[in-house]
Every structure is written in structure tokens, then in C-alpha cells.
Structure 1
Amino acid sequence: MERSWCAAIEEGLAYYRKNDPLRADLFELRYVQHRAEDDVIDQLHIGRTTYQKAHQDLLSTIAVYAAERGVFYRETES
């Protein structure tokens, strides 16, 4: 399952690098460099509302790619 998450993150980042570099930069700063939210906002020269929207979009996109890979699927007993 960990590989599925990695693939979902990589695919989401590839999408954003091509279509919306701000969201790719947000991921890099927040999750790779482990910078604080306020620092990311300053580095990207954006407001808090823009940050929150971009962050939500980024996480939602990665979640969709993860769902496509079955990350959230858990077989139940019948």
C-alpha cells in the first residue's frame, strides 16, 4: 500500500508541475522541506486564503490518485 501512496503523490505532483506550479511548490515547501504554514505563505507570496485553497486542492488531487490505486479499499468479510 505504501507504494500506492508514493505513486499517487508522484502523479499528483507531476500533474501540478505541468498545470499549476504553485501547488507543486506548496507541496515541496510544506511536506519535503517541512516548513511552517506561515513560512510557505511568505515564500510563495500568497495570502492565507489562497494557501488554504491550494493546499486543499493539492491534498484532494492526491487523494483521488490514491483512490484510483485502491489505497482506501479494504476487503471486508462477507
Structure 2
Amino acid sequence: EGFNKECEFVERIHELGYNTYASRHHSTEQPLPAGAGSNNKRRASIRRQWYVSINGKGRPRRGFKTRSTDKASLFLPRVLDNKDHEMV
């Protein structure tokens, strides 16, 4: 039971105190809309990160359906007290 690349996330701390977590290794490549980007013949694309997200029932959402601005992707850090440290 070791850690692997599936366990690596990029943590971003937002101004309002929320944190988001994106997969370091998984993302989706999406083409830019027509007219955006450069004028060369190849179509430009961007990589969209997959974020950790939970739905209203507490179940995980699929990474490719999440965005950093979704409410379900914003997490509030919690300070642990002594009782919580005993559980960990």
C-alpha cells in the first residue's frame, strides 16, 4: 500500500480561505474556440486540470467534469484539536 502518482495533487490556497486540489498527472486537452489564439493552421489547445470535487450527497465527482470555480471543488481547511489528533 504505497503512494503512487494517483496520490499527487497540486494545492492552491485561494484569497477567501478556500483550498482546491488538482491532480498533478491527469488533465484533459481541449481545443480553443475558433478565432481564439494564434492564426496558424494548427488548432491551439489548452490543458484543463482535473479537480477533487464532491457532490451534494458527499460522493466524488468525475475529475474531467470539475472546475476550480465549482462550489463542490472548494474546501475549507480545518484546524485539528487534540481529540482529532488521536483519531489520525
Q: Into which bin does the TM-score normalised by the smaller protein fall?
A: under 0.3
Q: Per chain length, whose mean CA-contact separation is higher, i.e. which structure has more relative contact order (CA < 8 Å, sep 6+)? A: 1
If you compute each CA radius of gyration, which structure gives the higher value, 1 or 2? 2
More helix by share: 1
Q: Which TM-score applies when normalising by structure 2?
A: 0.25
